[in-house]
Amino acid sequence: MRRWKPWIWAAIVLSGALFVWVWYFAPHAPVVAKPTLREQPEVRYADHRDAMAEVGIERYEGGKSCLGCHEDEARDVYRSYHYQMQNLVDDVEHHPAVRFGGKVAYNDFCGVIFWQGKQPLSFIGWSALQDPPDGYGHLRGAFIGSGCSMCHGVGMGAPPEPADREPTRAQLENIDCLECHGDPEVYPSGPLAVEEGLKVPVRTPEGEVRYAISAEQDFDQLMRRIVAVPSKDQCLLCHAFSGGGPGFKRPNLEPSLLGHVTDENQDVHLARGLACTDCHAFEHHDVALRSPDTWARGNAEVPECTDCHERRHTKPLVGWILNTFHPEKVACQTCHIPRYAKKIPTDTYRDWSHVVFDAELRRWSPEIEKGLNLRPEYRWWNEETRIAYLYPEPASVEDGRLIYQEPAGEIARRESLMKFQTEGLIFPFKVHEARVPYDALLQKPVPVRLGPVFSGGKLDEGIQAGARVTGLEFTGGYVTMVRYMAINHGVEPAENALFCFDCHGPTVRKMPWHELGYGRFPEIVISIFSLIGLVFGVAFLYWLIRS
């Protein structure tokens, strides 16, 4: 029998290596497109200087300065989710209609803003650093925060009254119109306005804390640069700092997106000039969303990807496969947002049983674990949400875990060997966990008063204060609260999307088939076909060599 020459063996080995490289490694190498500069949307200003001069207004004092011309708009804001922090939600599983949102929920980041929607707990106050650790004594007395009202409530610090009540004059005056319609360079929204001293927490004669606009405001600049449509940066100054810090909460909404976005790999839509309001339409100042972990449910139409992208995948074979088999099972975000927390680490776990000093935030904080450039988790979502804890119901705890919120959806049944009946689409999620205090008798998480914790690291004092306000009892028990947060921002250029073998390779690297209800069947089938393909490939190569 004729022996093969060394170069033939080398060809076979190299062919096999090339096959393995293409199958396993080439699709996973990040495709880094060159950042592309594009024009950002033009800001349209509505100059109000003459209008204010006509009615004799010489300084901005919140909604009080705007009601003469914009009372109807103020009434719309009063009823909106941004002001009320709650909404009538009809897509919570097993609850036909429930009032839910930040005002009534115990959340896994900072606990409770209002206990049962009524008793303020962490809404507004004044916290200064009292007991800094060694090496940080120079920070003693420094202002560290005024509560969740720095973003929540878009107002001057008065708690919102129920939306079904006729708004009082005080409530309408409490609305801070420039929170959204100010130019971020002269009137930034969110924490920055408070940190820069533009909105100052002050105590009223009744002993309540409210915001006052600094007397040093440049009124002429404020009125000249009122924006007709809220800018991207004005939205991000709240949303990119939600959860108590930069990039903590929302996947792919981080401070690095402020300013002129040029990196398409971070967010192709913002880099190409889109603004937040291009997708998030407002109607009567209420924004419409449809997501398993957000609760705004306005009347505006919720956009779909295909509203702009009518032409889907156009490559001859792969495009046909994707257009035929994916639309009924896989959301666009799943392939086109392959990672999150791209430039700034995001909060993935926080432990309310232990406090540390955060030098970056210059305050005491629960111990927080962060991650950078993370792979999403994947779950079915059928446009309904499962919530394990709705006031006043007891929490549903299993194995020490309380699923605060998760998407509903699953494989309903297997119709044949290769066909499955599904409920929903596969979406990408960030999973956040938090170890929180718990009342085992009443089966409810115990809120924490944030002031004693943030200012002095006094965790037990903060927990006991929260227990007293809410009528709960803390005896040292904790549960782990879990939330699935939808990843809808951070779409990358098409060449960065997940490749077929990312999810359908012999050893699946991205898609957890068994967790999604398919079992190990897809992995076994794909592995068998891969092995058959390899055998036929080597046999064909051998035939070519022998011919």
Whole-number pLDDT of residue 312: 77
Residue 19 scores a pLDDT above 60: no
Tokens representing residue 530 in the block: 């891969």
Q: Mean pLDDT lowest for which of 41-45, 269-273, 393-397?
A: 41-45
Q: Which of the four pLDDT bands, split at 50, 70 and 90, describes residue 395?
A: confident
Q: Give the pLDDT confidence score for residue 27 in this predicted structure.
A: 44
3-state secondary structure of 450: helix
516-540 mean pLDDT: 75
Which tokens is 177 given?
A: 């119109």
Residue of 340, 352, 361, 296 lying closest to 108 (CA atoms): 352
Which segment of 165-179, 389-403, 482-496, 517-531 scores lowest on mean pLDDT? 517-531
**Secondary structure percentages of the chain, helix, strand, coil, to 5:** 30, 20, 50
Mean pLDDT of 480-498: 95
DSSP string of 98-148? EEESTTT-EETTTEESEETTTEESSSS--EE--SPPTT-GGGTT-EEE--G
| H or E stretch at 429 | strand 425-439
pLDDT surpassing 80 at residue 507: no
336 CA to centre of own chain: 17
- Identify the pLDDT of residue 390: 80
Encode pLDDT of 141-180 as tens digits.
999 999 999 999 999 999 999 999 999 999 999 999 999 9
**Mapping DSSP to helix (H, G, I), strand (E, B) and coil, where does residue 367 land?**
strand
pLDDT tens for 401-437 read 998 899 999 887 666 656 677 889 999 999 999 999 9
Q: What is the pLDDT of residue 290?
A: 85
Q: How confident is the model at residue 539 (pLDDT cuts 50, 70, 90)?
A: confident
Determine the 3-state secondary structure of 378 from DSSP.
strand
- Return the CA Rg of the chain: 27
Please state, for a pLDDT cut of 70, what percent of the chain lies above it: 89
* 38 vs 301, residue with greater confidence: 301
Whether 471 shows a pLDDT value over 80: the answer reads: yes
Give the pLDDT confidence score for residue 34 in this predicted structure. Answer: 43
Quote the pLDDT of residue 79. 96
* Cα(317)–Cα(128) distance, integer angstroms: 62
User: Which among 116, 123, 119 has a CA at the least distance from the CA of 152?
Assistant: 123
Whether residue 517 has pLDDT greater than 90: no
User: Is pLDDT at 18 greater than 70 in this prediction?
Assistant: no
pLDDT of residue 388: 81
Average pLDDT over residues 448-453: 95
- For 29-84, write each residue's pLDDT tens digit: 343 344 444 455 677 899 999 999 999 999 999 999 999 999 999 999 999 999 99
Confidence check: pLDDT of 4 > 60? no
In the three-class reduction of DSSP (H, G, I as helix; E, B as strand; rest coil), residue 383 is classed as: coil
Q: How many CA atoms lie within 13 A of 86 on its CB side?
A: 21
For residue 86, give Cα distances in angstroms to 80, 220, 403: 9, 35, 20
Confidence of residue 547 (pLDDT cuts 50, 70, 90): low
Name the burial class of residue 337, with classes exposed (0-12), middle (13-18) and buried (19+) by CB atoms within 10 angstroms of its CB. buried
Report the pLDDT averaged over residues 325-347: 94
Integer Cα distance of 438 and 398 in angstroms: 13
Q: How confident is the model at residue 328 (pLDDT cuts 50, 70, 90)?
A: confident
Q: Which residues contact 128 (CB under 8 A, 6 or more apart)?
A: 141, 142, 143, 144, 455
C-beta atoms surrounding 475 within 10 Å: 11
Q: Which long-range contacts (CB under 8 A, 24 or more apart) does 403-407 make?
A: 403/482, 404/105, 404/106, 404/107, 404/108, 404/481, 404/482, 404/483, 405/292, 405/293, 405/483, 405/484, 406/292, 406/379, 406/482, 406/483, 406/484, 407/292, 407/379, 407/380, 407/381, 407/382, 407/484, 407/486
DSSP state string for 494-524: GGGSPPHHHHHSSS-SS--TTTTT-TTHHHH
Cβ(234)–Cβ(151) below 8 Å: no
So what's the pLDDT on residue 436?
97
Kindly give, in sequence order, each residue whose CB lies less than 8 Å from that of residue 117, ignoring residues fewer than 6 positions away. Answer: 86, 99, 103, 104, 391
At 88-123, the pLDDT tens digits run 999 999 888 888 999 999 989 999 999 989 999 999
The strand pair at 478-486 and 401-407 is best described as parallel
- Extract long-range pairs of 392-397: CB within 8 Å, 24+ residues apart: 392/116, 394/442, 394/443, 394/444, 395/438, 395/443, 395/444, 395/445, 395/479, 397/438, 397/443, 397/479
pLDDT the model gives residue 26: 45
Q: Pick 270 or 37 by higher pLDDT.
A: 270
The reported pLDDT for the residue numbered 14 is 59
Q: What value does the mean pLDDT of the chain take?
A: 88
Mean pLDDT on 472-481? 95
- In the structure, what pLDDT confidence band is assigned to residue 15 with cuts at 50, 70 and 90? low
**Nearest alpha carbon to residue 130 among 140, 117, 120:** 140
Q: Mind listing the pLDDT tens digit for each residue in 200-225?
A: 999 999 999 999 999 899 999 999 99
